[in-house]
Amino acid sequence: MVIKIGVLELQGGYALHHNLLSKIGIRSFPVKSSKDLKQLDGLILPGGESTTISLLLKKYNLRDSIIKFAQHYPVIGTCAGLILMSKNVDDIRVEPLGLFDLSISRNAYGRQIHSSKKKIYLLNSKERKLEFYSTFIRAPKINYIGDNIDIIAKQEELPVAIMSKNLLGLSFHPEIDGIDIFHKMMFDKSSKFYFEKLKQGYAT
């Protein structure tokens, strides 16, 4: 079975997601309208300007289609994508999709000139902890986490990657650094990190 993953292409850094999916042998397709979601097996909401993407989602009537899609298929949101997937955002210009019961602060890691790579701890089980560095660009901060959401990675003591069933949200940009573990986690059923294979019991 050929896996087909869509990448939202309204604004932002979608090209690197296509590149990363190609490197792990997964076909990807642009998503610019509701019809583009048909026959896809998953979706990525990339980083970018969350206020702009929020407006474009309404303009192109994609909001309801993405919400329905996320009820059945795996979805990754990176940076602005995480902001859009949340329930509450500290900026009235953003109309989030409400996929996660989260409260988010935009640009909590500083302006774009303050972008940097930070050490992240991936907590994929009680027995093992993986570390890597990834890029934060005006990254959002998770202020509140509701029920049925697992923290799967932290930067120091701050949650920067969360998962709920088939949804994954990241404050950072693994696609910039060529880190493929999260794309495999959601879309590669042969990977040991595939989300349906991971044990429950993430650090909270």
Is 114 catalytic? The answer is no
The tokens of 170 are what?
Answer: 């990241």
Q: Are 102 and 148 in contact (CB under 8 A)?
A: no
| Average of per-residue pLDDT across 16-41 | 96
Question: 196 in a domain, yes or no?
Answer: no
Could you tell me the CA-to-CA distances from 49 to 57, 99, 137 in Å, in that order?
12, 19, 11
Question: 49 in a domain, yes or no?
Answer: yes
pLDDT for 25 beyond 70: yes
| Average of per-residue pLDDT across 180-193 | 89
**pTM of the predicted protein model:** 0.91
pLDDT for 111 beyond 70: no
Could you tell me the CA-to-CA distances from 69 to 41, 56, 130, 170 in Å, in that order?
9, 18, 31, 19
Is 79 catalytic? The answer is yes
Question: 71 in a domain, yes or no?
Answer: yes
Q: Indicate the residue type of 7.
A: V
pLDDT for 153 beyond 60: yes
User: Which among 49, 175, 183, 196 is annotated as catalytic?
Assistant: 175
Question: 139 in a domain, yes or no?
Answer: yes
CATH number of the domain residue 85 falls in: 3.40.50.880
Instruction: Specify the pLDDT at position 36.
Output: 97
Higher pLDDT, 6 or 204: 6
Does residue 172 sit in helix, strand or coil? coil
User: Which among 17, 72, 114, 173 is annotated as catalytic?
Assistant: 173
Instruction: Specify the pLDDT at position 151.
Output: 93
Could you tell me the CA-to-CA distances from 64 to 33, 70, 98, 151 in Å, in that order?
11, 10, 11, 26
Q: Phi, psi at residue 185, to the nearest 5°?
A: -55, -40
Question: 60 in a domain, yes or no?
Answer: yes
**Range with the poorest average pLDDT among 62-71, 86-95, 102-111, 148-157:** 102-111
* Beta-sheet strands, E only, within 49-178: 75-78, 88-89, 102-105, 116-122, 130-136, 141-145, 150-155, 158-164, 167-170
Question: 197 in a domain, yes or no?
Answer: no
Question: 95 in a domain, yes or no?
Answer: yes
**Whole-angstrom Cα distance, residue 168 to residue 78?**
9
Exposure class string for 128-159: b at 16+ Cβ within 10 A, else e: eeeeeebbbbbbbbbeebeeebbbbbbbeebb
User: Which among 18, 49, 72, 79 is annotated as catalytic?
Assistant: 79
Question: 174 in a domain, yes or no?
Answer: yes
pLDDT for 16 beyond 70: yes
Total domains in the fold of the chain: 1
Range of the domain at 182: 4-187
Higher pLDDT, 1 or 102: 102
Q: Which percentage of the chain shows pLDDT scores above 70? A: 88
Instruction: Specify the pLDDT at position 199.
Output: 46
Exposure class string for 2-13: b at 16+ Cβ within 10 A, else e: eeebbbbbbbbb
